[in-house]
A and B are shown apart, each in its own frame.
Chain A
Amino acid sequence: MSARAADTEPQLSVRDVAVRFGGILALDGVRFDLHRGQILGLIGPNGAGKTTLFNCLSRLYTPASGDIVYEGGSILSSPSHRMPVIGIGRTFQNVSLFRRLSVRDNIRVGAHSTSASDLFSESLALPWVRRQETRIDLVVAELIDYLDLADVADVPVNGLPFGTQKRVELARALAIKPGLLLLDEPAGGLNHEEVVELGRLIRQIRDERGVTVLLVEHHMGLVMSVSDKIVVLNFGRKIAEGAPPEVQSNPDVVAAYLGGSTR
């Protein structure tokens, strides 16, 4: 894909987004842009509002004010189940798989938005439904290979090791064929080798599949090594933005991570 053409329009524009839960402002006027083909690392201490922002981007939450523009249009007028169709795919901080389904079926559900059907034609297994299932199965088979899930493909996800479940979630999100992939702490619970492998994989996904990545991560080694740009949140506010080295030496960021409050 020639996704990294010289377009200057940002692919994603988060504009002064605010979210309030009762008394607390989980997000307070957050604003940043993300360009096609970039990997943006979103970091910040616990409770900074990173997951809340993801939930706004997948339309599970509606911001109290502000706008989110993806590929030139506001996403706020579309319901959450339209996000994969628009091109936004995601994984969850706490693995959220369909626990009684097999690995293969979990990934197949990811392809839901790339296909269309109705329950009656499916009940009758009409020929076009069968052809569509074959198309889905080919996409899924490719992802199973890509993420090295062949050994467990037809096993229920329920009992699989945590690291494997995370890969299933990634495969499921890729089955959406996203233009923008939201990864919420993909390295959580992984060991050192798995984290190194994950960093390689995230870059590979960006390079080979032309997917823009928004990465929330506490593992500093990983974020700093894969990200083109970092945005730092603290108490719902953006406190820094820039290239990894800049951000790492920013005194506000250092203070936030040492437990100092900017409030």
Chain B
Amino acid sequence: MTIETSIAEQPPTTTTQRAAVAQLQRRPNARQLAIAVVCLGSTIAAPFLVSNFLIFQMTMVLVYTIAILGLNILTGINGQLSLGHGAFYAAGAYTAAILMDRWGIGYFWTLPAAALVCFVVGFLFGLPALRLEGVYLALATFALAVVTPQLFKLSPFENWTAGVTGITLAKPDAPFGLPLDQDQWLYLFTLAMTIAAYVCAHNLIARRGGRALMAIRDNPIAAQSMGVNTALYKSLAFGISALYTGVAGALGAIVLQFVAPDSFTFSLSIALLVGLVVGGVGWLPGALFGGAFVLFVPNLAESVSKGLSGAVYGLVLITLMYVMPSGVGGLLRATRAFASKRYD
């Protein structure tokens, strides 16, 4: 049976079924639209109301949001644990930095380049990782996270990476003579990229390929017996995930105007994983909460006590996981279930 004929031979469908299907592809209702407009309006207005340092921080939250979105596709959607996403972030950051620094490529064009490089690297890493599951996969990705910053220090690559010194970049100005300062422009640019990344991820998980990724997570044998090429999809999940995180790395390099091997230690990988768990594993909007956690909580801990910042961070994390064991996403689900039970 070929694919074409099997699509053509559809069973007869009734008008009620057609209506039900049309209903599935419904447009958002007025309330959802209103919420979206208010959120979008306030995020666009924000850089004109707050200090430049806060704008910079919010930009970095968005950068981490994209990185965690990528990790979520691999770990939350496809069920493969990664302790090494800092490596893909670093690969994206260095791709952007080298292209801008050595070849004078415009910052915007470094993003597709970082996407491509990281997709290929992620896909290739995903191939041998097919043989690994659970803690063994975690160990392999851990190794990746540890090796990668060392690679950027190696002397054969020093010509491009500048070794331990790292690469300093220029801060981009707003284009087309827009009346924005550099921080405002970087924020709005990153916001647009974040929205694009989110919409793409959202589209993906609601369609055939995304369902295949989730099917593999829930039951790989059954997925395979339903025709899902599990090996291919698991590698693709690595590739796509690395693509998102790599683009985040490239944006991070542009926003910070600096890359060096020591910015991408193992603790970055762990921070991304913590962000994923805090936001909610498998829930895409959780990435934003995760991004905020990654950026603000260590600073907060530092401001509470310089000497004991690690302890404060740990305490905040433990408390959060105790209060909302499935992250922000789980908490929202529970609240909604509770509310509908009470008022319906």
Contacts and interface: CB of A to CB of B under 8 A. Distances in A.
Decide whether A and B are members of one complex: yes
Interface of A: 58, 60, 79-87, 90, 92, 96-101, 104-105, 108-110, 112-119, 122-125, 129-130, 132-139, 141-142, 145, 172, 176-177, 179, 209
Nearest to B20: A141
A119 B13 contact: no
Contacts of A116: 3
Contacts of A113: 3, 6, 226-227
A98 B21 contact: no
A145 B11 CA distance: 12
Contacts of B1: 85-87, 177, 179
Contacts of A114: 3, 6-7
B225 A84 contact: yes
B214 A112 contact: no
B340 interface: no
Interface in B64-97: none
A177 B18 contact: no
Contact of A176 (B7, B14, B221, B226): B226
Contact of A125 (B203, B215, B223, B225): B203
Interface string B222-240: 1111111110000010001
A59 B208 CA distance: 23
A172 B226 contact: yes
A34 B257 CA distance: 69
A98 B282 CA distance: 14
Given A97-B218, A112-B211, A136-B208, 16 more contacts: A60-B221, A83-B225, A84-B225, A96-B221, A98-B219, A105-B211, A108-B208, A112-B208, A114-B3, A117-B207, A122-B207, A124-B203, A133-B25, A134-B25, A135-B7, A141-B20
27 contacts: A79-B229, A81-B229, A81-B230, A84-B225, A96-B219, A96-B221, A98-B214, A100-B214, A101-B218, A105-B211, A109-B212, A109-B215, A109-B228, A112-B212, A115-B7, A119-B240, A122-B203, A123-B201, A130-B25, A133-B207, A134-B25, A135-B10, A141-B17, A141-B18, A141-B20, A142-B13, A145-B14
Main DSSP-derived SS at the B contact region? helix
A201 B224 CA distance: 26
B337 interface: no
Main DSSP-derived SS at the A contact region? helix
A143 to B, nearest CB: 8
Contacts of B106: none
A104 B201 CA distance: 20
Contacts of A132: 208
Given A109-B212, A124-B203, A134-B21, A139 B227 contact: no
A138 to B, nearest CB: 5
A105 B205 CA distance: 11
A133 B208 contact: yes
Contacts of B13: 138, 141-142
Interface residues of B, number: 45
B24 interface: yes
Contacts of B24: 104, 137
A103 B228 CA distance: 18
Contacts of A108: 208, 211
A176 B222 CA distance: 13
Name, among B209, B210, B230, the residue most crowded by chain A CB atoms within 10 Å (CB to CB): B209
A99 B207 CA distance: 18
A159 to B, nearest CB: 12
A138 B10 contact: yes
Contacts of B50: none
B344 interface: no
Contacts of A179: 1
A100 B226 contact: no
A145 B211 CA distance: 21
Contacts of B16: 145
A123 B282 CA distance: 17
A145 B17 CA distance: 8
Given A80-B225, A81-B229, A119 B236 contact: yes
A20 B217 CA distance: 29
Nearest to A71: B1
A172 B225 CA distance: 11
Interface in B176-218: 200-201, 203-204, 207-212, 214-215, 217-218
